[in-house]
């Protein structure tokens, strides 16, 4: 086998994959000083609330490593015979990482002298960390580059030869100092760059070695491993795998390994014909499909690795697309690159292979040479361990996953400890660098904050563990009188009778009256329609207008529930057309079972949404809980959501409170080029729009004279969602000045004091009661009581952050939200900010329970989700339409 070793010439670089093009503006001038850091010492720790002790799923690292530094090598592992990974979406790249780990293992066996006495960590990509120089790299005055060829004998090409991989390794100038971590966790030093410090990458690569190298598990992403033996089939050819997430996190005075059970979806390892039957839920497969269905199928199967059952060699290839009908007839099959002969596809396989009951369907295979290959779907076996994209999950699948993943706290805790000690084996130093990890969960000091009272018309509710109900209460303020409305039932073979629908509408109207809404007692017309695409919605509106002899105020759409394949498509079409093209309020009623029609609580939940959409206010909070030093506050929430593919658009949303009760909010959204970065580019324009709406609302409500300029709030508090720690400085650097510019630009001299905080739920920290049987420590499900807050030991050594579990979890283990205060002109105490954040979780207007994040953040998240439904593509151009002018006076239309 050929082997080539060479030294790099001066200034010569080994080619690496180019970085994704940066599309966001350059936020940071290299000469500009870093954004000031608001340190915990400026706040201290909270004191209010009942002191308690809790456990967290963080395992303390008592000894980091006996090595003070690691070297960094660039490593490229690419197949020699084929290279089509670029055509494969990111969620399927995990399989390639596992192959590259196998190649590196083979390289270690072949070139044993290179790795003698060296501990290494590999991330499955282009980076290799080592405790010393590798064997080929011993000369002090040069950085050699080596190239080796490795073959995997159990993976063969179509000619039966082992698959060959080219491995190129060269040392970089980077040296990772682990001693710097000790200064970081002691609070002695901190810079924003520490969030992306490579020392964490080294340690995370090390702690995942056991799982990554064990054939019983599949590593997915950087931080999770999944067990091949712990999986469950769900609908449409997909299976749910159980696994463990783990990552090294900084705490106060120590590092911690955060471990948490996790789940993800994989393709079932079926033959492709069986998979398509499962996916489509068909009894048999047709020889052709309508273009819409064919597009959906190709979205699902493109890039999937399959093993050809008709060949005697253990090989695998990726699917390009499904071939049907005429595409099969005209396909020229060319199995050899150096052959000039091609074959009719069906004839070739009938003559050379025995297909008992042919479907007549083939899949074209990705190739990088001059071959043209397609295989019968019956001969293609999907290879185990390939991720199934979350964006392709149906409502039915999501429902099944929710049911399967609601782990009771006791089971979650048990599996967390098992994953730490038995699977990852963290207390046994699997890293080989002398890392010592405690085998037990960390106990920390915590506090429990009191629930907040909730005001209704003439009545104050006192929540118990974050919950209350609407019995015998009326909404604070009714929206406009609901008189001209219409009901549309999108049929599935008359699945709901008119009598059932009439009874439901009567129950709904009765419940709206009970809650204090102003609603006409006349039963609206009920229309049955077959859904035939977006035109059906427009026709329904025109029919409603005709029957009412005027535009309707609202249309109630009764649609199939999540078990129906058209549920998501239909819901999104209704919202897009009604919100942006027609400009009419809509309320969807999603029904899997007609039992909801007779459920009073179900009707009460709908009443809350309808009242909000019509401009009403359901509940309020005590004013002293929201005002600061007797002054009003403008509460802002902001979020960004990114598309799964690189060609889509990111959606940004900012919402702002319209009154001193933070009960009504105005929403603004924009789209921007997808970059994976989080700053909202036009946040200044969105804030100006919010300030204008704020002033217009004050005038409409008669709070100021028409000729007077409304007084603007002297305080602004931003709860920003969707920001990773590594982008804290970037977002703060861009958005905080833009908020100030917007205020000054809206009205000269307006300079409010601002708090800029980040709140997130995309983390894996969980809090458990010490005594889950005690009613003073745990709820009936075994979770900590609502209001539990943790700001010590496992929190950041320098920044002001805390975890707050502000909601009751009906099922499963509650996930606390993680708050970080990045800037504060107002100078609140930490108790004041924690108490305010907890209070705002009781003001989400469409529930009778506290929620997990403050209402402004929740509304921003909902706005992003709604705006995403508006995106349309026309002639290759993506467009995001505005909400129709008719809805301007209904700011909570999105509820």
**CATH code, domain with 574:** 3.40.50.2300
Is the domain of 694 the same as that of 833? yes
Asked if the structure places residue 187 within a domain, the reply is no
Q: Kindly write down the DSSP assignment for every residue of 156-173, as one continuous string.
A: E-TTSPEEEEEEEEEEEE
- What was the pLDDT predicted at 541? 97
* Boundary (domain end) residue, out of 331, 360, 383: 383
Question: 201-231 pLDDT, tens per residue?
Answer: 999 999 988 877 788 998 888 899 999 999 9
Asked if the structure places residue 84 within a domain, the reply is no
CATH no. for residue 883? Answer: 3.30.420.10
Is the domain of 487 the same as that of 599? yes
* Boundary (domain end) residue, out of 613, 647, 667: 613
Rounded to an integer, what distance in angstroms lies between the CA atom of residue 363 and that of residue 302?
10
Rounded to an integer, what distance in angstroms lies between the CA atom of residue 451 and that of residue 170?
58
Q: Is 346 exposed, middle or buried (0-12, 13-18, 19+ CB in 10 A)?
A: middle
- What was the pLDDT predicted at 492? 66
5: nearest Cα among 133, 167, 202: 167
Asked if the structure places residue 37 within a domain, the reply is no
Is the domain of 522 the same as that of 552? yes
Is the domain of 675 the same as that of 558? no
Domain interval for residue 364:
272-383
CATH no. for residue 313? Answer: 2.170.260.10
Is the domain of 743 the same as that of 876? yes
- What was the pLDDT predicted at 562? 73
Is the domain of 300 the same as that of 355? yes
Asked if the structure places residue 55 within a domain, the reply is no
Dihedral over Cα of 359, 360, 361, 362: its sign: positive
What pTM was estimated for this model as a whole?
A: 0.92
Q: DSSP character for 111?
A: T
3-state secondary structure (DSSP) of residue 562: coil
Question: 743-754 pLDDT, tens per residue?
Answer: 999 999 999 999
Contact 441, 57 (CB under 8 A): yes
Is the domain of 741 the same as that of 679? yes
Is the domain of 583 the same as that of 729? no
* Boundary (domain end) residue, out of 582, 613, 644: 613
Flag residues of the chain having pLDDT under 70.
1-31, 81-93, 391, 492-494, 563, 565, 593-594, 644-647
Q: Is 618 exposed, middle or buried (0-12, 13-18, 19+ CB in 10 A)?
A: buried
Is the domain of 643 the same as that of 556? no
Asked if the structure places residue 106 within a domain, the reply is no
Rounded to an integer, what distance in angstroms lies between the CA atom of residue 730 and that of residue 737?
12
Is the domain of 754 the same as that of 838? yes
Instruction: Report the domain count for the chain.
Output: 3
Asked if the structure places residue 286 within a domain, the reply is yes
Asked if the structure places residue 636 within a domain, the reply is yes
Is the domain of 517 the same as that of 629? no
Cα three-residue angle 110-112-116, rounded to 5 degrees: 165
Is the domain of 609 the same as that of 634? no
Asked if the structure places residue 493 within a domain, the reply is yes
């Amino acid at each position: 086998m050929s082997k080539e070793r060479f030294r790099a010439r001066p200034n010569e670089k080994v080619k690496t994959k180019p970085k994704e093009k940066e599309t966001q503006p350059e936020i940071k001038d290299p000469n500009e000083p870093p954004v000031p850091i608001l340190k915990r010492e400026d706040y201290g720790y909270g004191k209010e609330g009942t002191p308690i002790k809790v456990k967290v799923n963080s395992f303390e690292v008592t000894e980091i490593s006996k090595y003070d530094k690691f070297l960094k090598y660039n490593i490229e592992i690419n197949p020699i015979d084929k290279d089509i990974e670029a055509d494969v979406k990111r969620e399927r790249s995990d399989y390639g990482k596992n192959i590259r780990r196998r190649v590196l293992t083979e390289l270690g066996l072949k070139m044993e002298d290179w790795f003698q006495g060296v501990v290494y960590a590999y991330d499955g990509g282009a980076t290799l960390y080592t405790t010393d120089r590798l064997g080929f790299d011993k000369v002090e005055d040069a950085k050699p580059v080596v190239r080796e060829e490795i073959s995997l004998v159990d993976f063969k090409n179509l000619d039966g030869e082992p698959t060959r991989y080219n491995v190129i390794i060269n040392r970089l100038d980077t040296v990772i100092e682990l001693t710097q971590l000790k200064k970081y966790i002691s609070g002695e030093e901190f810079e924003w760059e520490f969030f992306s410090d490579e020392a964490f990458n080294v340690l995370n690569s090390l702690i995942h070695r056991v799982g990554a190298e064990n054939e019983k598990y599949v590593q997915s992403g950087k931080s999770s491993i999944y067990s091949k033996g712990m999986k469950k089939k769900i609908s449409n050819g997909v299976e749910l795998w159980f696994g463990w997430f783990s990552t090294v996190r900084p705490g106060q005075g120590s590092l911690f390994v955060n471990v948490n059970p996790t789940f993800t979806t994989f393709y079932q390892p079926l033959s492709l014909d069986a998979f398509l039957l499962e996916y489509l839920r068909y009894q048999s497969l047709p020889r052709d499909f309508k273009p819409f269905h064919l597009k959906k199928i190709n979205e699902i199967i493109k890039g999937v690795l399959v093993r050809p059952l008709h060949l005697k060699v253990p090989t695998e290839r990726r699917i390009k697309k499904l071939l049907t009908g005429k595409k099969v007839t005209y396909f020229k099959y060319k199995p050899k690159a150096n052959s000039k002969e091609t074959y009719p596809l069906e004839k070739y396989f009938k003559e050379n292979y025995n297909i008992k009951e042919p479907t007549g369907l083939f899949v074209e295979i990705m190739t990088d040479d001059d071959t043209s290959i397609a295989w019968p779907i019956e001969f293609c076996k999907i290879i185990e361990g390939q991720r199934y994209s979350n964006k392709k999950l149906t409502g039915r699948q999501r429902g099944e996953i929710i049911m399967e993943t609601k782990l009771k706290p006791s089971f979650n805790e048990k599996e967390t400890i098992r994953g730490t000690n038995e699977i990852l084996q963290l207390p046994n130093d699997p890293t080989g660098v002398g890392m010592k990890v405690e085998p037990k969960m960390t106990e920390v000091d915590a506090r429990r904050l009191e629930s907040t009272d909730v005001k209704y018309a003439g009545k104050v509710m006192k929540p118990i563990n974050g919950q209350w109900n609407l019995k015998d209460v009326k909404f604070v303020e009714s929206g406009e009188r609901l008189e001209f409305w219409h009901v549309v039932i999108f049929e599935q073979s008359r699945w709901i009778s008119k009598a059932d629908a009439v009874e439901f509408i009567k129950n709904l109207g009765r419940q709206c009256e009970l809650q204090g809404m102003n609603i006409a007692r006349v039963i609206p017309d009920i229309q049955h329609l077959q859904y035939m695409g977006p035109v059906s919605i427009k026709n329904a509106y025109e029919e409603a207008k005709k029957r009412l002899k005027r535009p309707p105020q609202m249309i109630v759409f009764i649609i199939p529930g999540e078990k129906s394949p058209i549920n998501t498509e239909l819901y999104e079409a209704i919202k897009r057309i009604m919100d942006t093209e027609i400009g009419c309020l809509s309320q969807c009623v999603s029904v899997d079972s007609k039992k909801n029609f007779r459920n009073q609580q179900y009707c009460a939940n709908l009443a809350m949404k309808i009242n909000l959409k019509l401009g009403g206010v359901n509940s309020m909070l005590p004013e002293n809980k929201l005002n600061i030093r007797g002054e009003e506050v403008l509460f802002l929430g902001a979020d960004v959501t990114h598309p799964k593919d690189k060609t889509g658009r990111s959606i940004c949303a900012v919402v702002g409170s319209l009154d001193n009760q933070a009960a009504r909010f105005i929403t603004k959204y924009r789209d921007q080029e997808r970059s994976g970065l989080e700053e909202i580019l036009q946040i200044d324009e969105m804030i100006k729009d919010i300030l204008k709406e704020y002033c217009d609302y004050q005038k409409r409500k008669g709070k100021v004279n028409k000729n007077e300029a409304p007084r603007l709030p002297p305080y602004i508090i931003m709860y920003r969602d969707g920001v990773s720690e590594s982008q804290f400085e970037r977002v703060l650097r861009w958005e905080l000045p833009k908020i100030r510019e917007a205020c000054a630009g809206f009205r000269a001299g307006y300079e409010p004091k601002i708090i800029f905080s980040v709140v997130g739920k995309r983390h894996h920290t969980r809090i458990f009661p010490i005594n889950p049987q005690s009613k003073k420590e745990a709820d009936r499900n075994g979770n900590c009581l609502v209001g539990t807050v943790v700001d010590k030991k496992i929190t950041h050594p320098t920044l002001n952050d805390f975890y707050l579990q502000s909601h009751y979890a009906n099922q499963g283990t509650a996930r606390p939200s993680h708050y970080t205060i990045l800037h504060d002109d107002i100078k609140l105490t930490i108790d004041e900010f924690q108490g305010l954040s907890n209070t705002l979780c009781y003001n989400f207007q469409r529930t009778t329970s506290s929620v997990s994040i403050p209402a402004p953040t929740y509304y921003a998240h909902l706005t992003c989700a709604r705006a995403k439904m508006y995106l349309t593509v026309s002639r290759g151009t993506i467009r995001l339409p505005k909400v129709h002018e008719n809805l301007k006076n209904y700011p909570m239309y999105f509820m």
